[in-house]
Structure formats: C-alpha cells, structure tokens
Amino acid sequence: MNNLNTDTDMVSITIDNQAYRVSPHENLLQTCLTLGLDLPYFCWHSELGSVGACRQCAVNQYQNGEDKIGRLVMACMTPVSDGMIISMQDTQSTQFRQTNIEAIMTQHPHDCPVCEEGGNCHLQDMTAISGHINRRYTGKKRTHLNQYLGPMLNHEMNRCIGCYRCVRFYRDYCGGDDFNVFGSKSHLYFGRARSGALENSFSGNLAEVCPTGVFTDKPYSEHYIRKWDLQTAPTVCPHCSLGCNITVSERDHKIRRITNRRHDEINGHFLCNIGLFGYEHVNHSERLDAPLLRNNNDKSSVILTSDAAKKHLAKLLSPAIIDNQQALGRCIAIGSARTHIENNAALMKLVGQDNFYLGVPDVQVQMLHMLCSAYQSNRVSPFSIKQAQACDAALIIDEDISHTAPRLALAIRQMSRNLGINNAAKLGIADWQDGAVRNIAQTSRSPLAIIASDTSQLSSLATEEVIISPDEQVILLEEIQDLLAHKLEETKSLDDRETHTNTESYSASARRIVDSLLTADTPMVITGLQSQDPALLRTSLDIASLLKRLKPHAGFYGVTKQVNDLHFGLLIKDEAGEAKYLGIDSFINRVMGQEGEDSAHNAPDTLIILETDLYRYMEAEQLEAALDAIDNIIVIDQMLTPTAQMADLLLPSGSFAESQGCYLSSEGRLQHGFATISGLNQRMMPWIWLAELTHLHHPAEIHHWLSQHVPILAPIETFSELAHINQGSPFRIAGQPQRASARTAIHAVNDVKEQMPMSASGTPFVQSMEGVEGFRQSQVQMITVLPANAWSPKWNSDQGANRSGNGNQSPWTSGITLFSQVSLSSQPACPGEHQDEQENGRQTNAGRKETNSSELTGAGIRLVPAANLYADFELARYSSPIHSMSPDPSLKIHPSLAASLRLIEGEEVWVQGEHSAVRLMCTFNRQMAPDIAQVPNTLFTLLGKRAKITPVTLKGKEDK
Ligand code: SF4
Ligand code: SF4
Ligand code: FES
C-alpha cells in the first residue's frame, strides 16, 4: 500500500486512554501495529490490504469521551480519523477476539509439535495474543486430502483457518490462475483443480503469507531444523540483478532456508522462487573444498593446504607482479559478475586495469557502460522497485522482466492497478480497502505498453502490446523518440507561439504510446540487457532521457543480468571519450594475438579467472584454443564448473552465505551482505587468497583503494565501519536473537551436550547457544536493525517480524543509491546523438569471430533470446527444485516461418549460429513475431543473432 505521510498531516487518536499522533493514511490495525501494540489479525496483510474476513482485529470504538459502551469495529476496515477514541483492552472486544479465535480453532488440528510452522507460526502468535489457552471443543473436525503442489511447497489443508490470504496473494496479487478456493462454508479447500506444480514464480511466498502451516517450505523440510536452532545473517540475493534483501539461516554448516528480509524500496514482503529456493549450490556435493594443483603431464590433481596453495600462487605470479610494467602485462585476469565488488577490486589491483577483463561478453560490457554513463550524467533517473510500483505509466522495451527481473515484474503488476486505486481515491476510498478498490477498479488499468518479440506473463495487463521482430522494434522506437523530440520542440516553440508538428506519418502504436507516457505524471521506461543489442538500449535510453525532459519525474529501470554486473560499467577505462570494452571477446582476441599490438609484448602467460564459467559465453573450441595458449591458468570459484576443470591451480571460494561484501544492484544501489557461516574447509573469499600479493588485508583497505581508483564507488567506504567488528573484537552481534532455552541436541546420539556452533570469521555476527539478552539487543540496535530484532515476544513468525517496515534508517539496511548522489552535467539525448558509441558498438561486435556468410546459406533467420527464470541463473540451477522446474531447451518458431522452412513441430533441428551450432527440439509458438526464432537465453549468447535452421534428418542428407 502507498503511504505518503508528511509531518503536517498527522492526527490525534486515543487508544486505551493513551494519546498518539498517527498518520491518517493507514487503517486502524496498521496504526496499532506501527505503534507496537499487540492487536491480532489474520486476513489483513500490509501489502494485500484489508477485506475484513477473519474478524480477529475487533476493537471497541467510542463516539466521544462520554460514550462508555462503544461499538465493535474491525480495526483493519476502519480508517484512522482525528479525535478517534478506541479500546483494545475493554471486556467486550477482548472477549470477542477470544471467542472468535476459539471458533476458528475448532477445525484446526492443534498439531503444532509435528507442524514445521511451530515456533514460527502467526496462528500460534495470534492465539497467544488473543488469550485463547483452553481447548473446549470435543467434536469431530473436518479433514481434507492434500495435494502435490510441486518441488517448493508442502500442502496440509487440515490446518487451514479460511482467512483467504493465499488465494488473494496468488490470484489477485501475483496474477496466478492455477490456484483457487473450492467448496463452501466450513468445507473450503485452497489448492489446485488437480495436483501439480504451482506455476507462479512467487508461489514459494505462500509459506509465509499463509498464517498457519498449510503451506510449508519443502526444501527446508528435507533438512528441517526448528527456528530457534538456526543462526542467521542478513544479506542480498545472489541471483538476478535486483538486489532483494534476504535472511540466510544455517545449522551445522548447511543452509537450511532463505527468508524474505523486508526492504520497502526493493523486495517489500516477497521474493521470487529463485531467491527463496536457489541456495542449494552452497550445500552441493560439487562445491570445491580445497585447493587443487593439476599435474599437466599425467592430468592428475593433488590437494594442497591453503598455505601451500598461497605459496604456489605467489610462485606463479612472482614474475608477473614485480614492479615492471612489461612483466605485469604477462598476467591477465577475468573478473566476475557474480562475486562481491571487493574481490574484483583486489584482482584488478593485482593485474592492473589494462589486464583486467570483465567476465561477460564485450557487447554486455558496452551496454553496462551505456547504463552507467546515463546514470552518472543524470540523463535518466533510475527508479527503485517501489517507485516503479508507484508510477502511472510504463513502457517495457524488449525485456521479459517476469523472467529476468521477477520482483520488478511483480511491482509492475501492482502498478497497472494504480488507475483503479486513483479512481477509488476520488470516491474517498483508501488504497488499503482491497475489496472496495477492486470493485471500483474492475478492469481499469494504468497504461502499460510492451514492445517485444513475444507475449509475456504481463501481456494480459498491457494496454498496448506490439509484438514485432527486433529490427521492427528499432523502427518503432525511433518513431517514439522522434515524437518525443518533436514534443520537446513544441514545448519550447509554444512559448514562441509556433505551430504543432504534424505527427500523422507516425504509426498509431507510436502515437498511442507517446500519448500515454505524456499524459502520466511519473512515467517510466523499462528495458535491459536481454536483447544484447546496444542500438536498442541506446534508443531506449534516448527515449527515457527525452521523457525526463518533458516529465521531470519520469524514471528508468535498466535490468542487467547478474547480481553484480552493473559495477562492471564503472570499471571501464574511458580515455578521452574512448571507452575500452574489455570483456570476454577482448580477452580471446588478446590471447590469440588479434589485438593488432605487439603480440610478443602483449601475450599473457598467466591467467586468473574469478568465478566465471567461460563456457557459458564462448564456443568450446575457440575457448580451449585460447586457454591452451596460456601457461598457467588459475581459477578461483565455488563450483567445479567446466572452466574450473581447466585450471592448473584451483582455489575454492566462499559462496554468498560464506562471504561478505558489496553488490551494486541494477538500480544503482550499493548493498552489503554478511556471511552466515564461515567457509568450510579451505573456502575463502577471493580477496583473501590474493591478499599477500595485493597487500590489501582488510575490506576497509580494499574500500579505500577502490575509492581512490574508482571515485564513483567511494561511498563503499561507509561499509568499512562494521567490517572492523569481527572475531577479534570484544563485542559482536548475535546471529541468534532472543531465546531462552539451549539448542535442540540434534547430535544427542553422539553427545548429549550440543557443540557450540562455529562462528563465521570476519563477520560482526557471532553464533551463540543462547541468543542475545535484552540489554545487549538494545545496544545492537544502535548499530543495526538487522536480525537482532527479528523476533520479539508474541511475534515469533517471519510475517510477524515483517509486519511493519524497517524504516531503512542506515546504509547498512537501506544500501546507498549511488547515482542519485552524483549530479553531473544533464545533457539531454536527441536523435543522432551518440555517434561515438555507435562506432564503438561496431568495434565491439567485430570482436566476435566473423561469420562466414556461406556457412549460413539459405538462412539469415533472426534469433532472439527466450529468458526463463528457472533456467538462466547459473548458481540457482544447482538447486533441485529450480532445476526440476526449468524447461527442456527448444527452438521456438512461428508456424508460418516453420512452414516456409519445412519444419515439423516436435522434430529435431540443427541451429547453426554465427559462433557455434546446437541441436534442439522444434516447438511452435503462435504468439511470437512471425519472422524470428527463439532460443534459450544461454544458447543465444553462444549462437549469435543469425542462424541457419535445418532439420536433423535433412542435415544428415546434406552432409552425405
Ligand atoms: S490456506 Fe492458509 S492462507 Fe489460505 S485460507 Fe487457509 S489459512 Fe488462510
Ligand atoms: S532472483 Fe531477483 S527477484 Fe528473485 S529474489 Fe533474487 S534478487 Fe529478488
Ligand atoms: S484482520 Fe481484520 S478482519 Fe481479518
């Protein structure tokens, strides 16, 4: 819900004879909770609003000071008004709440001891708050059969209390249509029409949204531990580029579960399924535990101690790291888009910026640089997800955000309701009145225009959707750009009393889209890197820039691909306006001596690859030829990836749960995450492996070095403060807040005395047997509002902890929005600008191996990437629930194009791309643009933009 409070519009209310000043924009229940009062509730949710269904939040409202009787009202349905007098403690409302919950509990199985929600249950909390402590009902209870709902959730319908939250969340909020309520009266059933995996990408949130144990976290069940036995730390989701905030929980060096950590500007209450369940790589059997040295003669490997590995590393690098620039150039490195900024910084310092290649293709480096330049010059204003949700018109350009940036897509789903919410507001109905607002809004939608090559999960919300090929998209975007430029000219000309431009020659779609953007107050443009097309991104940025000049509150969201790839855009050497896009293609060119410089001088003999699987980006033969040309290959990674298998020296690194450091999200928010567990065995943060060579021995030293060498990243020094609190400090923060009993002795079979948990070294969080006492907790809160206040008496459940916003008071909890702090020149973009970038774009694309056009005879089919949430995120795919939901790779093609190519649905085809070839199943898609073919995102990077498509059977004949 949107709460726009200012100090001036606070009102006075009295609750149980105590006066308060509160916001009039919240309902009475939310107000009580914000004030820290214990008023129970079930059906209300701060993001879903109020429907008044459960009757648990009853309070007594009095007309005035003389009224001694009052009347019962449901707090969640009651607006706050000046002079309001209520009581929560009077006999009438107290008894009502007790009776109500007793009635609700007559059908509940009271199976807390075997329920995984036990100790983390909103129903338990509310029962305790309401004072229902005796079970008097002795009758029969209704029972239900449960369903299989997929790999992420268990289903135990007998625990349902009929609050309707699940169905409101799944259908109304997330747009899912494969889950519903069935039956009537006390025989309600919440599930699917038939057993089967829930399709919505946010289904996992049902475990938290449901106030009871109907839906529980299935992967957590497989290594279940009671909440009070978990140790936790706050960090940032390591998958897509949005930077959602999470809490990681562990026991015995295993990640047990991930839960949402409320950040009102980003994820709010909800994480996508990748964020919730994509952590199994941390516990995976393919994790690297110890350094390995490969003997190239017999291809055997030996395990090294970390000291021996460091010595060997120093020996390999010593010729390269002497203060002789010529020697220095013989060691090159590839940085990682999925590791912390500190690790890349240390590596860049070690090899020098000219020898530091960014671990994504050159074309992506160029696009990241374009985004960062636009943000730094203030040409466009990056929006947060909360701002995206609040905007009143949006244009999405060729980015399937439901798959590449799911939490943003969920926000845009809510944004499309803003017109209805505003219409309701005109009738005096507040946004939290969910049922009434939906009644008034009906099907009214805020303007949402989508330009893409295929339909998407947001298609049903689009007020304008144009499905065309990428080439046609560029033409349409140029029309939109032209129209906005004309409008800008008109705005200036009107002052000079000049005439309007005739726009009749532009397409109707372009005119409608421009009209909808210009009619809005806070329109926004969303695009991203999915297209891998710098021209399309450039035009999108130009449109957003023109829009910002016409509408000062207009915003932009540029979705990038990985958790930390945006900061690559800040590491690019830009000398006299000539940017060098040193990505993976440039690395190959350098190694293969194609850079045109003195190759003897330039040829590297040592390569360090940091957390990047190059096989995801390069065709194997080409890559292996390059790697074979290098004497020493050092890989630092978490997993035994195909690239890691090529290493001469392999060093294990800590996962996101074992490391700490900063990520830069795609909105430009610098955030710090903490380790929950210390790296098992010899897993270390990569900068620690390099510390003796870089002379950077502490995160604060890396931050300082970065602020000197990449000034835009100077705010990172803010995060040095807590980094000083670690194992050697007299004071640390408890990773296990407020609990009175000892841990459950899960190793009782060996020893009834539970072992003290091992604390993560280098983090401010200490793991304890007993949690933290009140006094220490109050001290802790002075430093951070992180997990130490995650529980409080009567509010043990995760949703209880998230019931009111965290306020995001400090950089530690809110992050630092990097680009709103810079105010450089505000140069607008107009058609024809960016000549240099266009030229650079050509250089970049030329970095790839040139296609022999004869290889694509009869082809020239334009390929486009199809994003898939469950298939695209490298580390998440190690989680079996995620992997099991990912589709088989296929070539999707419009039936009309298939007919012209004589392809039959279901047959296997060879897709011969610009860089490599793959064999795929051919499937038909009638919704997509007719003149293109779709391949999975990951394959698109390998294949390139054009391909020849041949049935496997035919190719066999051709080959003969
Ligand atoms: S399943 Fe849970 S969320 Fe849904 S109605 Fe029942 S108790 Fe409420
Ligand atoms: S994958 Fe992206 S959207 Fe999903 S929880 Fe992580 S950061 Fe958020
Ligand atoms: S929370 Fe108020 S009626 Fe359910």
pLDDT in tens, 45-99: 999 999 999 999 999 999 998 999 999 999 999 999 999 999 999 999 999 999 9
- Looking at the predicted structure, is the pLDDT value of residue 557 above 60? yes
pLDDT band at 611 (very low <50, low <70, confident <90, very high): very high
Cα of 420 vs centre of ligand 3, distance in Å, is: 23
Does the CB atom of residue 275 touch ligand 2 within 6 A?
yes
Strands (E), 649-756: 649-652, 661-664, 669-673, 733-734
Does the CB atom of residue 41 touch ligand 3 within 6 A?
yes
Fold of the 292-368+580-661+680-721 domain? Rossmann fold (3.40.50)
Residues above pLDDT 90, as percent of the chain: 72
How many whole angstroms separate alpha carbon 492 and alpha carbon 486?
10
**Atom number of ligand 3 nearest to Cα 44:** 1
Higher pLDDT, 723 or 344: 344
pLDDT band at 788 (very low <50, low <70, confident <90, very high): very low
Region 214-239 average pLDDT:
92
Alpha-helical regions (H) of 496-592: 508-519, 534-550, 584-591
Pocket test for ligand 2, best of 274, 665, 877 (most atoms within 8 A of CB): 274
Q: Which pLDDT belongs to residue 678?
A: 77
Nearest alpha-carbon partner for 564 in 718, 669, 677? 669
Beta strand 669-673 pairing with 816-817? antiparallel
Alpha carbon nearest to ligand 1 atom 8, residue: 163
Fold of the 369-559 domain? Dimethylsulfoxide Reductase; domain 2 (3.40.228)
Cα of 239 vs centre of ligand 2, distance in Å, is: 6
pLDDT tens digits, 456-482: 999 999 999 999 999 999 999 999 999
Alpha carbon nearest to ligand 2 atom 2, residue: 240
Does the CB atom of residue 56 touch ligand 3 within 6 A?
yes
Region 329-339 average pLDDT:
93
Does the CB atom of residue 480 touch ligand 2 within 6 A?
no
Pocket test for ligand 3, best of 26, 30, 33, 43 (most atoms within 8 A of CB): 43
Tokens 């680009």, located at residue: 819
pLDDT band at 734 (very low <50, low <70, confident <90, very high): low
Listing from the earlier edge strand, what are the strands of the sheet with 669-673? 661-664, 669-673, 816-817
Nearest alpha-carbon partner for 515 in 556, 552, 487? 487
Does the CB atom of residue 54 touch ligand 3 within 6 A?
yes
Strand partners, 258: 248
Does the CB atom of residue 33 touch ligand 3 within 6 A?
no
Cα of 238 vs centre of ligand 2, distance in Å, is: 8
SS3 content of the chain, % helix, strand, coil (to 5): 35, 20, 45
- Looking at the predicted structure, is the pLDDT value of residue 505 above 90? no
Instruction: Report the C-alpha dihedral over residues 890, 896, 901, 902, rounded to 10 degrees.
Output: 90
**Atom number of ligand 1 nearest to Cα 159:** 7
Q: Which pLDDT belongs to residue 226?
A: 86
Region 721-736 average pLDDT:
66
Query: 3-state DSSP call for residue 940?
Result: helix
Domain 7-104, CATH? 3.10.20.740
Q: Which pLDDT belongs to residue 500?
A: 58
Cα of 160 vs centre of ligand 1, distance in Å, is: 5
Region 670-687 average pLDDT:
88
Strand partners, 182: 189
pLDDT tens digits, 90-123: 999 999 999 999 999 999 999 999 999 998 899 9
pLDDT tens digits, 830-853: 444 454 444 343 334 334 443 333
What DSSP assignment string belongs to 450-464?
EEESS--TTGGG-SE
- Looking at the predicted structure, is the pLDDT value of residue 4 above 80? no
Q: Which pLDDT belongs to residue 595?
A: 60
pLDDT tens digits, 894-935: 999 999 999 999 999 999 998 889 999 999 999 999 999 999
What DSSP assignment string belongs to 469-515?
-HHHHHHHHHHHHHHHHHHHHHHHHHHTTPPPPP-TTS-HHHHHHHH
pLDDT tens digits, 509-526: 999 999 999 999 999 999
pLDDT tens digits, 858-868: 448 999 999 99
Q: Which pLDDT belongs to residue 494?
A: 59
**Atom number of ligand 3 nearest to Cα 55:** 3
Q: Among 139-143, 224-228, 288-292, 437-441, which stretch is predicted with the lowest mean pLDDT?
A: 224-228
Q: Which pLDDT belongs to residue 414?
A: 98
Pocket test for ligand 1, best of 54, 108, 126, 163 (most atoms within 8 A of CB): 163
How many whole angstroms separate alpha carbon 31 and alpha carbon 59?
13
- Looking at the predicted structure, is the pLDDT value of residue 646 above 80? yes
CB-based burial, 651-682: b 16+ in 10 Å, e otherwise: bbbbbbbbbbbbbbbbbbbbbbbbbbbbbbeb
Cα of 189 vs centre of ligand 1, distance in Å, is: 9
Residues above pLDDT 70, as percent of the chain: 84
Of the bound ligands, which one is closest to the alpha carbon of residue 667? Answer: 2
Domain ranges of the chain: 7-104, 292-368+580-661+680-721, 369-559, 850-959
Q: Which pLDDT belongs to residue 842?
A: 36
Alpha carbon nearest to ligand 1 atom 2, residue: 210
- Looking at the predicted structure, is the pLDDT value of residue 208 above 50? yes
Region 369-389 average pLDDT:
96
Q: How high does pLDDT run on average in the chain?
A: 87
Report whether 466 contacts 509 (CB < 8 A): yes
Does the CB atom of residue 269 touch ligand 2 within 6 A?
no
CB-based burial, 39-62: b 16+ in 10 Å, e otherwise: bbbbbbbbebbbbbbbbbbbbbbb
Higher pLDDT, 798 or 459: 459
Does the CB atom of residue 157 touch ligand 1 within 6 A?
no
Report whether 97 contacts 89 (CB < 8 A): no
Nearest alpha-carbon partner for 152 in 885, 710, 906? 885
Pocket test for ligand 1, best of 105, 171, 212 (most atoms within 8 A of CB): 212
For CA atoms 669, 342, 285, 261, the dihedral sign is negative
Does the CB atom of residue 180 touch ligand 1 within 6 A?
no
Fold of the 850-959 domain? Barwin-like endoglucanases (2.40.40)
Alpha carbon nearest to ligand 2 atom 8, residue: 244
How many whole angstroms separate alpha carbon 404 and alpha carbon 239?
10
Q: Do domains 7-104 and 369-559 have the same CATH topology?
A: no
Non-local CB neighbours of 954 within 8 Å, separated by 6+ positions: none
Q: Which pLDDT belongs to residue 297?
A: 74
Tokens 């490599």, located at residue: 916
